[in-house]
Amino acid sequence: MKTNKIHYLSGLAIATFVGIHLFNHLLSIGGAARHIDMMNALRLFYRNIFIEAILLFAVFVQIISGLKLFKENRKTAASLFDKLQIWTGLYLAIFFIIHLSAVLSGRLFLHLDTNFYFGVAGLNSFPFNLFFIPYYGLAIVSFFGHIASIHSKKMKRPIFGLSPNRQSSAIIAFGITLTIVIFYGLTNHFNGVTIPKEYEVLIGK
Ligand code: HEM
């Protein structure tokens, strides 16, 4: 099978999880407990050994195939969406490596429940937030930017009078708005979150 076909198929599996994952983060606007309740419910599905193995394997395949496509296409990318696709892809590959190493280390070595508090400890403490705001923000926007680039290539017709390129711009605008709303929730409406004692190890306390 060709690299771009493999990349597309593993990308579909990952995008399904990420859609659910971001919906989970969105629920934080209703408070930490709401986020944790939903994550506990969703874990019954994605923490199932079979599903999680497929997901982690898909991420591995996505990174390897993505880096190969990045090398092949970097010089020939001409349009704005071509460029957006390869650079958001590169960022997502780096993000996946860091994010999954962090989550898996948190679980296996620190023996922490990698829930809401694990995800947002750095986001809610200075100076760690100087890293975590762009790190998470760029990840969500890159995810939508990557999808928008693919959409601009695959879509051939207008929807509600919007050209394919405009539809892709709308996908990016949606991603940026969602990022802002998710950050609003993950920082408890910008008031900050009180990090429980067992998670303080993540922020050097
Ligand atoms: C504000 C942004 C984000 C935060 C705070 C966050 C936080 C977390 C947390 C806490 C977990 C552990 C889940 C669990 O224990 O059940 C996790 C897992 C994961 N996240 Fe994120 N995440 C964010 C964005 C993303 C994005 C944008 C992607 C992908 C593009 C992503 C991909 C993943 C994957 C693949 C897992 C592993 C799931 C597993 O095997 O258990 N995350 N994330």
What is the tens place of the pLDDT at every residue in 2-11? 999 999 999 9
Establish whether residue 35 lines the binding site of ligand 1, counting it when its CB lies within 6 angstroms of any ligand atom.
Answer: no
**Contact of 38 with 27, CB cutoff 8 Å:** yes
Residue of 44, 55, 99 best suited for mutating to test ligand 1, as the one with most atoms within 8 Å of CB:
99
Which atom of ligand 1 is the closest one to the Cα of 17? 35
Q: Is 193 exposed, middle or buried (0-12, 13-18, 19+ CB in 10 A)?
A: buried
Residue range of the domain that includes 38: 3-203
Structure tokens, 167? 């539809």
Nearest CA to ligand 1 atom 10: 119
Whole-number pLDDT of residue 205:
84
Name the pTM for this structure. Answer: 0.97
With a pLDDT cut of 70, the percent of the chain lying above it is 100
Q: Is 137 exposed, middle or buried (0-12, 13-18, 19+ CB in 10 A)?
A: middle
What's the domain count of the chain? 1
- Assign residue 27 the CATH number of its domain: 1.20.1300.10
